[in-house]
Chain A
């Protein structure tokens, strides 16, 4: 007797993924008039989600990355090939001419009138002399150091890893706990989300950061619900829109270590919550 074969149907819980970038773009408008017009329409039905604007501030790499050994070897090989294939430059031709002239001078039956007219000027300053003066000048030149010698543990300084791009994180209290997140602030009526992001950057305590925003459209999005005890009829959670910005200007004062951090992309997981990290990782490029 065969056991009855029952098939258990599990209901498929569809995880509603966060909205795409396009939707985000449609919500944002670049002119104030359009925004206020939209506001009039939505004043009737206010959404239970609070809007936040956040900024993903990046410090771009200052120096190029170091080459791996293979890359070094290849570069040497290419340089050598190029040198062997190239033609002589003016300066090199002059060097050869001067050398030939010197050897001619040593001979017994040398007649200086047989030389060219423009020999008179070159007699005083030969090409070799020029080369020597140039080498002297090069020795006096001091290039800037490739690493500013900042301790790796000091996350507050923006001079950390000059060869990588770093992202700014702030420690904020959200509800009852202190979390590391990208600087964000609540959206106010009558301003565009990009202005919210700019405000978020400007309102950071103790930081005087000048940044250029890349475009009016947001690059990422994160949605979270408030914990059950805070949730009310008209505030279920918050939606955060991220904007990309690039740090401008060179010297910045080191920021407070406890509340600010400049991190690379692979160090992000030590700081951010998993859900948040998953969304943020989508738009941060580690090039």
Chain B
């Protein structure tokens, strides 16, 4: 009886090991069991290795991927007596490295002074063709193509007492060849970033007419 029990236990142990590898083989094993010992596939909750291979509960909750909605216009906060609302600091120039580095500098300065920089985006590059009139003749030919780059750092809810300090630092460190412009953020500024949809507008006009 002992030997039988030992055999059964040994077999059970080996079967548990093989179960981890594949479940098909376990079915084969159960048929080979002597003495009709019914060994099922299931591991009982009291078994120390119960649920040993589970990992799904450890991963972060992945929400079902929903379709991207249209970018909503954020509520433009109005200015109060001690704080400014939302305003844009536009940096523009011909030299892209200077413009980008300067806008990065302004952004880092705001982070350092605990000023909230909401957004920091780039406006599309504008190309300007410089045409030169020929000396003998009336034809103009293209002399150079200048590209104007523009970067915007949007700042919101800044203390009014901090503005003169920030403006002075920014103005004193302005590099040559870069223009700085500080203006209030309006709905028009927000809408100008989007591409126009001519066919949609045409259809809308047709509907209205």
Contacts and interface: CB of A to CB of B under 8 A. Distances in A.
Contact of A29 (B81, B161, B174): B81
Interface in A9-26: 21-22, 24-25
B167 interface: yes
Interface in B155-179: 160-161, 163-165, 167-169, 171-176
Interface residues of A, number: 23
B142 to A, nearest CB: 13
9 contacts: A60-B172, A64-B176, A214-B163, A214-B167, A214-B168, A215-B161, A244-B164, A246-B171, A287-B172
B181 to A, nearest CB: 12
A280 interface: no
A25 B161 contact: yes
Interface of B: 81-82, 160-161, 163-165, 167-169, 171-176
Interface in A196-221: 214-217, 219
A219 B164 contact: yes
Contact of A60 (B161, B171, B175, B176): B171
Contact of B165 (A25, A61, A64, A219): A219
A21 B172 contact: no
A245 B168 CA distance: 9
B91 to A, nearest CB: 16
The secondary-structure label for the interface of chain A is loop
Most chain A beta-carbon neighbours within 10 Å: one of B164, B171, B174: B164
Given A22-B161, A244-B164, A246-B171, 7 more contacts: A24-B161, A60-B171, A214-B163, A214-B164, A217-B163, A285-B172, A287-B169
Contacts of A63: 176
A217 B161 contact: yes
Interface string A16-55: 0000011011000110001000000000000000000000
B160 A25 contact: yes
B176 A215 contact: no
A186 interface: no
A259 interface: no
A216 B172 contact: no
B168 A244 contact: yes
Ranked nearest first, the 3 interchain pairs of A and B with the lowest CB-CB distance are: A215-B163, A214-B164, A217-B161
Contact of A215 (B167, B172, B173, B174): B167
A285 B168 contact: yes
A165 B172 contact: yes
Contacts of B168: 58, 214, 244, 246, 285
A25 B84 CA distance: 13
A141 to B, nearest CB: 13
A38 to B, nearest CB: 12
A275 B160 CA distance: 27
Most chain A beta-carbon neighbours within 10 Å: one of B82, B173, B175, B176: B82
Contacts of B81: 29-30, 34
A63 B167 CA distance: 18
A126 to B, nearest CB: 17
Contacts of B176: 63-64
Contacts of A214: 163-164, 167-168
B172 A217 contact: no
B164 A215 contact: yes
A287 B173 CA distance: 8
Contacts of B175: 64
A165 B174 CA distance: 13
